Amino acid sequence: MSISNIINKKNILSLVPKLVLVILLLVIINTQMTESVVLGTLEKGLVFSFLALGIFISFRILDIPDLSVDGTFTLGVAVSVMNAYNGSPVRGIILAVIAGAAAGCVTGLLVTKLKVQPILAGIITMTALYSINLKIMSRPNISLWRKDTLFTYFEDSLGEYNKVIVSGIVLIAVSLILFLFLKTQLGMSLRATGDNEFMVRASSINSDTMKILGFALANGLVSLSGAMYAQYSSAGDTNSGTGMLVVGLASIIIGEIFFKKHSILFGILAAIIGATAYRYVLAFAMGLGMDSNYTKLFSAVIVAIAIAVPAVKGYAVDFYKRYILKGKGGDSKC
């Protein structure tokens, strides 16, 4: 087999975006950032990886864009911050996961049993959670200054790397459990539900139960992300969940540039790497002087562009054929 066979045109073309991104990231990290920024961005990337994993479950596995995420992220923040404020940060994180999963069940029940459209169901839960979050926190923001958090426990033993190591270990454990779960009978049923509901029901699986389970799992993870974020930043804000769905989508889309293959392992890796890469791109933009008020605009643009790429490609090909080739043929790309 000759080299030209292995490295054919198609392979090289598919590698281009990955290489560009890797080079870009390396350049960003090398030139723009001080060591502390690099570390801080990595920490944020790890914390927001839980968010990306949650959205991976609802958006990629269940194939439903779940808007309740904006509310459940804040729910995680609120539960975590209140418990940490009262001196039990670990309990805060565990309760946050449970609360998030319960909120996910509400969305799931709305979608399956009450036949509310998925987008609307998410909006309903998100809106309801806004009040609940305010109720839990009792004021719009709370600082954990001088309070113990999950991360301060390890400050003495791990030094400045405490945040990366702690969130990294939790992330690895959660990803591993998620990966193994998706390989079980229950996990396979969940994946099939997003893939083909007819087939799932014909295989004697209750697709409603599976959807509720999926929503619970997704929102539990998102809430975990909020809980970690609150203790990471030692502060909780009732507005911190705004736009989190789009942030998560942007992470997944960036991650999928690296891993095209649709397998569970690559999906999970794509979510984690995407969430981290997203934070670096954001930090780079801010380093160039982007106003931090524009971060949400930034992620919205990323998602819009990424989803529009296939359509724009199609127009470009049409334009090329019509005006450049003037109908003289060439291969048709659909």
How many other CB atoms sit within 10 Å of the CB of residue 280? 23
Instruction: Give dist(CA 75, CA 225) in Å, integer.
Output: 10
Q: How far is the CB of 215 from another protein (least distance, A)?
A: 17
Least separation in angstroms between CB 261 and another protein: 10
CB of 201 to another protein, least distance (A): 5
131 vs 203, which CB is nearer to another protein?
203
In whole angstroms, the minimum distance from the beta carbon of 63 to another protein comes to: 10
Whose CA is closest to 59, among 294, 190, 248? 248
Residue with smaller CB distance to another protein, 152 or 207: 207
Spatial distance between the Cα atoms of 277 and 29, rounded to a whole number of angstroms = 11
By beta-carbon proximity to another protein, the closer residue of 32 and 209 is: 209
Measure Cα distances from 130 to 52, 73, 97, 125, 247 in Å: 21, 11, 17, 9, 19
Cβ 83 to another protein shortest distance, Å? 29
* CA–CA gap between residue 225 and residue 230 (Å, rounded): 9
The CA distance from 75 to 103, in Å, is: 9
**Joined tokens for residue 60:** 């990629």
Identify which of residues 194 and 255 has a Cβ nearer to another protein in the complex: 194
Instruction: Name which of 44 and 191 has its Cβ closer to another protein.
Output: 191
Cβ proximity to another protein: between 195 and 318 the closer is 195
From the CB of 175, what's the least distance to another protein, in Å?
17
How many CA atoms are closer than 13 Å to the CA of 113, on its beta-carbon side?
Answer: 9
Binding site for another protein (CB under 8 A): 181, 183-189, 191-192, 195-196, 198-207, 262
Q: Is 141 helix (H, G, I), strand (E, B) or coil?
A: strand
Give the nearer residue to another protein in terms of CB position, either 164 or 188: 188
β-strands 141-143, 235-237: how paired?
antiparallel
Tell me how far apart the alpha carbons of residues 198 and 205 are, in angstroms, rounded to a whole number: 10
